[in-house]
Amino acid sequence: MDWGPTLVRTVDLGYEQMLLLQSHPRTRIKVIYGGVWLTEEGQVQDVFAASGDEVALKSRGLAVVEGLGYARLQVMEPPLGWRSVAASVRRAGDAVASFAHRFLSLSRGSGARSHSAV
């Protein structure tokens, strides 16, 4: 069993309503009540699960969970990794620095024109 941090969200699905999610090998779907049909990109066999069943996703790609009647399920997945968070922060910082550079070069350019016009 994996004892790492886990994000849990509860989802209610109506008859033939679908949930689309990114599949990761550490993601699990637990059916609280009702029944679901689950298919994963890259997997040959689909899964039918009912109340109390827990299904571990196996691939990386798109997963589709469809309610077979009214169903409640829990999606348990690992939180966004620190490397992904760090990369996102780095990209945001780069975007801010790029914007500041463009803004400063534009403001310096307009300031130089106003001085030459005087």
CA distance 77 to 21: 11
CATH of domain 7-77: 2.60.120.10
Look at residue 117 and give its three-state secondary structure: helix
Q: Which residues contact 27 (CB under 8 A, 6 or more apart)?
A: 21, 56, 57, 63, 75, 76, 77, 78
**In tens digits, what is the pLDDT along the chain, a chain of 118 residues?**
555 677 889 999 998 899 998 888 888 999 999 999 999 988 899 999 999 999 999 988 899 999 999 999 999 987 766 556 655 667 777 777 776 777 677 777 655 454 555 4
- Give the number of other Cβ atoms within 10 Å of residue 10's Cβ: 10
pLDDT at 34: 95
The rounded distance, in Å, linking the Cα atoms of 57 and 31 is 13
Domain extent listing, the chain: 7-77, 80-118
| Both structure tokens of 7 | 């994000």
